[in-house]
Chain A
Amino acid sequence: MNLLTITSEAVRALQANRLRTLLTMLGMIIGVAAVVLMLSIGQGAQTKINDAIASMGSNLLIVTPGATSAGGLRFGSGSIKTLTMQDAQAIAELSTVTASAPVVSGTAQLNYGANNWSTFLSGVTPDYFSISNWQIQAGEIFTESDLRAGARVTVLGAVSAKNLFGDEDPVGETIRIADRPFTVVGLLAAKGQALDGRDQDDRVLVPLTTAQRQILGNQFPGVVNFMLVQAASADSMEAAQQDITDLLRQRHRLFDGVENDFTVSNLTALASVASSAAKIMSWMLGAIASISLLVGGIGIMNIMLVSVTERTREIGIRMAIGANRRMILTQFLLEAMMICILGALIGILLGMGGAWLVSEIAGIQIVITLGMIILAVSFASIIGIFFGIYPARKASSLKPVEALHHE
């Protein structure tokens, strides 16, 4: 008996017992579909958080001015203006630092035609865009010469642009910021919400010098609100933190025992907390999924074992008319494999359909990876194939007369 004939015998056996085939397949379908659905939700959440983290920029330190106290009354941090553009330039030259971006910030009223919009304004240097991982959707960012000249150029965030221009292309248009005309040179690609829920796209960016001199009317020229610093690598974050602290203490002439008049904090630490929370959720969903897989597996096992009596007699009959052990095992193996493959395919489709439905209804981001499909299919297949051929192995090692008289 060749493989083709055995295969068609297996197909016939499956067709002949539709209910058993269906019930076995059902275990497979439920197990695989549940795993794909659960893991895709978990992966989706993790991806969303990772994207938000990546949108902040990588290996980021933030340097903020320190607190001051006057006559026992303590003001909050930033209450004195201790950080300057020169500090930022000095920090950028440290070996553990790639770049630094000083920022001045405030709010400003924007006008374009009949539209106006109040938004968050930042005065930044060209390095800011790469450090905080901003992509340009249209136009370009402003240049070093714009910065030196204090040019009236601006880059709009996606939400601000939408509010001023609707669906029009803002690049090249002139808007008014605090009643002064600015040329829009670029439009930022949308980033969405930050980890704290703030909309990162509702903003307007102008050269740092322009903001200081023409919009915010800063009382101390050269002073910045905070600065972003990008460390050379994830491993050098702590070294960079130390180097910045040492440098600023020296530059600010702080004697030993005097408190820092600035703070260097690690943004990545916040991100890793969020990331590990997402990971925990992902694992939890994975655990729920594995339970479904286990239940599905037990379902497969039960059906296979329950049909043992009937199948043992069948094996006895087949042996009595001339089937040898290999032929019987091959047939049963093929039957189990067909059930598993077909059930897995249906399960994958069902799981993907369910994931799609969840993403449509609940608006949750869904990520389906090959790994989770392979995991679900291989686990269910191992159970299905093992319990598919285990009874057949036992029965085919009996003498035909014993298999025939099996009760």
Chain B
Amino acid sequence: MNTPAVLSDQIDAANPTAIIRVENLCKSYYLDGANGKSVELRVLIDINFSITSGEFVAIMGHSGSGKSTLMNVLGCLDSPSSGHYWLGQQDVATLSNDALASVRNRQIGFVFQGFNLLRRMTALDNVAAPLLYAGISRKAARQRAMSLLEQTGLDSFAMHHPNQLSGGQQQRVAISRALVNQPQLILADEPTGNLDTQTSHEIMLLFDRLNRESGITIMIVTHEDDIAACASRLIRLKDGRIIEDAATRHRQNHAMAARQ
């Protein structure tokens, strides 16, 4: 795919293995205001950053700062109003709906705060579902799903339905599902938001391991400092703009603490 002239050479040069490049990204919603006029609500304003393959990035901000919207745009669940978003070498804005579905299926694993499991299916079938959409046979899909549930320690719960699982277990099923098509990128929108502290640490350990051992790029939205401390880089949003983008120093320590 051709790189448009707007994209400065610096970004390319600085990040030869950039998995995500965002330039002047804006997102607005239009709400019905008084007198039938629509009011523009600017949720994301001129967002620029680039993420290298293998990074572990935390996105922080108060509620309403636009962090979830940013995640949805990065996860191809929502489209930007203006600006550019390159995922790998693809300009996401040029992709058709079907191509976006394929990107969500193969290149991105999304983890939600509310787990978003299909509640009438077993844990195993939930994890296997993305593989079915990728055209893999049910038998092969279930085998692969089972091996992922083993990795996340849930193999004995494979035939349970989501409502028979605890929050932490459900989130691990959701993470297994996100990983099942071997994406290079995991996007997690407050994955520990509905979990207690102990379970949150277990989930964060899982992300830490995936990042270190499998080299998967992870972006995580959180408003908890200790969760953000797991990351190697912190992007802070306020009122739709980036106000801080820096490496963190405490990652190692936190991971060690969590293991104990």
Contact = CB atoms under 8 A, between A and B. Distances in A.
Nearest to B106: A322
B134 interface: yes
Interface in A284-338: 313-314, 316-327
A399 B104 contact: no
A199 B102 CA distance: 78
B49 to A, nearest CB: 21
Interface string B108-123: 0010100011101100
Interface in A8-35: 8-9, 12-13, 16-17
Interface size class of A (residues with CB under 8 A): 20 to 34
A319 B138 contact: no
B223 to A, nearest CB: 19
A318 B117 CA distance: 9
Interface stretch (B71-79, B213-221, B228-236): B71-79
B149 interface: no
Interface in B41-87: 72, 75-79
B255 interface: no
A5 interface: yes
Given A8-B138, A401-B72, A320 B132 contact: no
Contact of B133 (A1, A325, A401): A1
A400 B102 contact: no
A253 B120 CA distance: 95
Contact of A318 (B72, B129, B134): B129
A2 interface: yes
Interface size class of B (residues with CB under 8 A): 20 to 34
B105 A321 contact: yes
B177 A321 contact: yes
A322 B130 contact: yes
B101 A322 contact: yes
Main DSSP-derived SS at the A contact region: helix
Contact of A325 (B97, B118, B125, B137): B97
A404 interface: yes
B16 interface: no
Contact of A319 (B101, B134, B177, B181): B101
A2 B110 CA distance: 24
Contacts of B130: 321-322
A397 to B, nearest CB: 9
Contacts of B132: 1, 5, 9
Contacts of A9: 132
Contacts of A325: 97-98, 101
A404 B129 contact: no
A400 B103 CA distance: 13
B135 interface: yes
A322 B133 contact: yes
A8 B118 CA distance: 16
Contacts of A400: 76-78, 104
A327 B120 contact: no
A208 to B, nearest CB: 83
A404 B77 contact: yes
A32 B121 CA distance: 32
The 4 closest A-B pairs by CB, nearest first: A322-B105, A16-B120, A324-B101, A322-B133
Interface of B: 72, 75-79, 97-98, 101-102, 104-106, 110, 112, 116-118, 120-121, 125, 129-130, 132-135, 137-138, 177, 181
30 contacts: A1-B132, A5-B137, A9-B132, A12-B121, A12-B125, A13-B120, A17-B120, A313-B116, A317-B116, A317-B118, A318-B133, A319-B77, A320-B75, A320-B77, A320-B110, A321-B110, A321-B129, A322-B101, A322-B105, A322-B130, A322-B133, A323-B101, A323-B133, A324-B101, A324-B102, A325-B97, A326-B98, A399-B78, A401-B72, A404-B77
